[in-house]
């Protein structure tokens, strides 16, 4: 019996390497296009985000002036609710990681406290170790430019659930510059804390300048809390857009560097394959003579 011999076709090593390099180069070029587009989109949103933040900062400081004037802004809260202001989108550096890190530290120091998380990114970092302390969470926050209506709904939900029995602490990223932000804690005590300040002789003269009717102060406290949430949302959104712009710019630079290196490797490998093919042709032609 005759055995059928199947010829084995071996691929040229250089050609396979060239194909792999070409596929990888094309993939990185596509990534560079995406990161460049995201950088351009973030750049167009930075100015609008900063204008929104500046307006919210003015109203936020005005509404919280009562706390500073009555010296109740730095009241120590033992069991507050930490309102962590995050978002649902990533690709913006360590914005969400810093929020989760600060919130975890506060929850460890105050184990009886709870947290209200705004955004999926911070919630995903907190739910594994502190799921029992997450009282409420919000999705779809800051999908677009923050609005007062959005902040009012969040504040109303937190107040309706009666989570702020001893006050709240808002954890947000404070905008410093286009390339810098700082995770900040902003305490908002209950209106009863301000009423109890009347017992202190030091604050009596300062509090007498305000109408301290309990119903009026309760309404003002709700407005102040909602305004503080809006302020934090605007600050965090501006920090996030700026961080995303910087992250996409760095990613684009890294992709361009990889494209240059891979292009050089591809050209050298291609030249080596051509040289080997020419050597084989010349050797074969010499052998036929």
pLDDT digits (tens, 9 = 90+) for 17-30: 788 888 889 999 99
Q: Which fold has domain 13-41+248-284?
A: Helix Hairpins (1.10.287)
Name the β-bridge partners of 168: 81, 188
pLDDT digits (tens, 9 = 90+) for 55-78: 888 888 877 777 777 666 666 777
Neighbour-count burial of 259, counting CB atoms closer than 10 A to its CB (0-12 exposed, 13-18 middle, 19+ buried): middle
Ranges in the chain annotated CATH 1.10.287.80:
13-41+248-284
pTM for this model (two decimals): 0.80
Ranges in the chain annotated CATH 3.40.1380.10:
44-245
16 half-sphere exposure, CB direction, 13 A CA radius: 4
pLDDT digits (tens, 9 = 90+) for 274-283: 888 778 777 7
Specify the higher pLDDT residue, 218 or 11: 218
- For domain 44-245, give the CATH number: 3.40.1380.10
């Amino acid at each position: 019996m005759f055995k059928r011999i199947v010829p084995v076709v071996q691929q040229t090593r250089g050609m396979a390497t060239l194909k792999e390099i070409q596929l990888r180069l094309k993939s990185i070029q596509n990534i560079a296009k995406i990161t460049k587009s995201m950088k351009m989109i973030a750049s167009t949103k930075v100015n609008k985000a900063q204008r929104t933040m500046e307006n919210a900062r003015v109203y936020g400081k005005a509404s919280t002036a009562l706390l500073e004037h009555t010296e109740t802004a730095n009241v120590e809260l033992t069991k507050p609710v930490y309102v962590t202001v995050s978002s649902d989108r990533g690709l913006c550096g360590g914005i969400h990681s810093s929020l989760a890190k600060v919130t975890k530290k506060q929850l460890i120091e105050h184990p009886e406290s709870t947290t209200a998380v705004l955004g999926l990114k911070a919630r995903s970092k907190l739910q594994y170790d502190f799921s029992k302390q997450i009282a409420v969470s919000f999705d779809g926050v800051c999908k677009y430019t923050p609005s007062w209506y959005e902040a009012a709904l969040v504040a109303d939900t937190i107040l309706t659930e009666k989570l702020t029995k001893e006050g709240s602490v808002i954890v947000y990223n404070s905008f410093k510059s286009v390339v810098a932000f700082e995770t900040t804690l902003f305490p908002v005590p209950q209106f009863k804390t301000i009423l109890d300040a009347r017992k202190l002789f030091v604050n009596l003269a300062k509090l007498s300048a305000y109408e301290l009717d309990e119903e009026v102060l309760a309404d003002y406290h709700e407005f102040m809390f909602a305004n503080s949430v809006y302020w934090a949302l605007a600050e965090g959104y501006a920090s996030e857009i700026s961080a995303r712009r910087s992250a996409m710019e760095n990613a684009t630079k890294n992709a361009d560097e990889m494209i240059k290196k891979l292009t050089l490797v591809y050209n050298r490998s291609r030249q080596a394959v051509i040289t080997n093919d020419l050597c084989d042709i010349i050797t074969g032609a010499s052998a036929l003579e």
